[in-house]
Chains A and B, each alone.
Chain A
């Protein structure tokens, strides 16, 4: 009953005229950037940050969340019709989705993806409603040792699951940790890495870093690679799936929902990983795996369901533990901080309007997306063909003005530009930006709690295994490390044996 009451309240928040407007705005912008090749959800959300400064906290998150899952719907369109991923989580659909389009079944692919996304979104929202309050309740009892171990596990998972090789992810995590250590030492108050520059003494601003690493570097990559959509098909065909279609894809959509919801929770996971895993799962369970790669509908409906479910379930760690599991959520973490709300286990209790309002907006937003998707298809196809020069210029201008408005400080503009350039250079050698930002957020949580625990225990490391929660989390971290180390060891042994 309590949940129903809260959900009703949440829907009321979401349906308030202003919030309804921003859900609509959020999902429309999300659809658009999903459709536009190159600009993914993380850069867009970073770009929209300055707009949220003047909004209510709940409205701000509603807007940014809408962009995120909206992009999951939009990305499919470009992948299917143009064979370029509108955003990374839709890469999978460029194969079978586009193949279906070439066979004149573009509408069928898009319709199934939209319905799958809707179902996946609703299932993930239900999980958010059912599990988040309990998880937050549990996390309220976390002390310094539990947070230390949790942040440690988070850092390991970020390095382990992020795109790219593990060494490169580890390098990215290291860079994030180094950047986070600029400013005041949390325990002694001594200044680190400031070189006498007063602007550095308080550390560098996370929002400026995010805007640079995600926003500016993305633009630079786009300019250099000169990505461009080439339309190969405009023929969409019947969009509404038939009953038989739905029946054949129900399994894929169900499995996609589960896979997506689960992988959204994992730090470093999110939509990309979810869609890839879902594709693998569908291929494995399919009775006709040979059709995969040649236009199998399940290869579209499963992954597209999974990426949307993941985008929604990834709000669970942020809103309950204060841990953003991926880049987009890192930006939303920043947006909440700007509003004076520190995400953590007390958020659901202190700011129920934010939590339940966002949940309500997800229901409303997914409904809007489902309805909007089909009739507006021709418009989105046209958006995909906006010249990159126009988009890039506009985006850079917004980024510069946005960085300035964070604190009204030109130093932050410098930080944003520097982060953008560095981010571009790192990406050009294959080091992804997301782990940098996630480590930048998790690093101080880890350091402060680690050192505080040691003060509390008079230097004894036993404190990190002093509660059941801490022990379980430690074992999980150990398992993750072991699971990555084992194949390495085995391979090493094989090479050694081969030498013998």
Chain B
């Protein structure tokens, strides 16, 4: 069953406008000469959607064009990303998607009308590190306690969904180490955190989002034992990375989301977009709007994102294939 969220009633009308205009692509030197739509393949109100809507007004100013954020949810991103991949490569239909939504559906489902090569990233919008959390009263005081228990027996570990990035990451961890961890999928970060707090599971493995997880960390309801990213998290310098604990073979586990266009888009259009992105991602207004720890500390451009995206794709393909 799919749960709907706030639909873009207004965007229904705008969709028609932008849809019609796609047929007549103007010379790229005049770019942009019409409104640009950014497809968000997840529901309105999700963290990808919210940060895209924070970014959009700034891009409007930089590019001097109207930007329409369009939610096309469904199929874990497959529907919206498919619409994006089929659109004309003229810089007027962009996508704002997480790496997981860009990479996983083609790996898990086969032919969904796009794959990792359908995206030409323009720049990183935000990241959320994956964190291992336990309730405040947990006997696990450090990551060592947790892994000692995991080695000795079975630890129930809450994850925000079987095909979520944490879910895949923990599968790899179990496969490569033989640790006695049983992953238990819950309904998103919210459901997982509820289960961690009520003690239904001993620990949770979630992306540290600003909406659900980080506030619980700040309030002291949960303790972060470790993080799955390669570099320590800026806001939590004392938390060890799994890599530093000796668990190296993990897939790329940062949850990140980025703006992309189609590969065949003219280079000058992509250059124009990347430039605008750079100015926006370094503006105070956008950085504050995105929230603490979400925006990268310095702008991460298209090529760098592309490298990360391919790395994530090959890691996940190896794991699920």
Contact = CB atoms under 8 A, between A and B. Distances in A.
A and B: bona fide binding partners = yes
A334 interface: yes
B79 A406 contact: no
A330 to B, nearest CB: 12
B109 A404 contact: no
Contacts of A231: none
Contact of B45 (A143, A340, A409): A340
B101 to A, nearest CB: 11
B114 to A, nearest CB: 10
B75 A202 contact: yes
A458 B7 CA distance: 40
A407 B6 contact: no
Nearest to A179: B1
B70 A408 contact: yes
A456 B163 contact: no
Interface in B4-57: 4-9, 11-12, 15, 44-45
A54 to B, nearest CB: 6
Interface stretch (A180-188, A358-366, A427-435, A478-486): A180-188
Contact of B113 (A186, A191, A198): A198
Interface string A202-221: 11111100000000000000
B2 A198 contact: no
**Range of interface residues on chain A?**
35 or more
Contact of B154 (A54, A338, A440, A458): A458
A205 B9 contact: no
B265 interface: no
A268 interface: no
Contact of A452 (B72, B78, B113, B184): B184
B5 A199 contact: no
Given A144-B200, A187-B162, A189-B161, A198 B79 contact: yes
Interface centre among A180, A188, A407 (most CB of B within 10 A): A407
Interface in B92-123: 105, 108-113
A456 B74 contact: no
Contacts of A206: 1-4
Interface string B61-86: 00000000011111110110010000
Contacts of B44: 340
B231 interface: no
A201 interface: yes
A198 B85 CA distance: 13
Contact of B112 (A198, A405, A443, A448): A198
A350 to B, nearest CB: 11
Contacts of A204: 1-2
A441 B74 contact: no
Interface residues of B, number: 46
Given A198-B112, A198-B113, A407 B74 contact: yes
B5 A180 contact: no
Given A187-B185, A456-B201, A199 B1 contact: no
A366 to B, nearest CB: 30
A337 interface: yes
Contacts of B201: 456
A408 B79 contact: no
Given A189-B108, A456-B184, A203 B200 contact: no
A455 interface: yes
Contacts of A407: 4, 7, 71-74
Interface in A455-482: 455-456, 458
A186 B185 contact: yes
A143 B11 contact: no
A500 to B, nearest CB: 50
B204 interface: no
A53 interface: yes
A180 B6 contact: no
B1 A203 contact: yes
Given A144-B200, A199-B79, A408 B112 contact: no
Interface in A155-210: 180, 183-191, 194, 196, 198-207
A334 B3 CA distance: 8
B3 A337 contact: yes
A406 B6 contact: no
A339 interface: yes
Nearest to B156: A456
Interface in B166-186: 167, 182, 184-186
A60 to B, nearest CB: 11
Contacts of B1: 180, 183, 203-204, 206, 440-441, 443-444
10 contacts: A186-B187, A190-B108, A191-B109, A201-B74, A203-B2, A407-B71, A409-B79, A440-B1, A441-B1, A452-B185
A-B interface, 3 closest residue pairs, ranked by CB to CB distance from nearest: A201-B75, A189-B163, A189-B162
Interface of A: 50, 53-54, 141, 143-144, 180, 183-191, 194, 196, 198-207, 334, 337-340, 342, 404-409, 440-441, 443-444, 448, 452, 455-456, 458
Given A53-B9, A408-B12, 12 more contacts: A183-B2, A184-B163, A187-B185, A191-B108, A196-B110, A201-B79, A202-B2, A202-B74, A202-B79, A204-B1, A340-B45, A406-B4
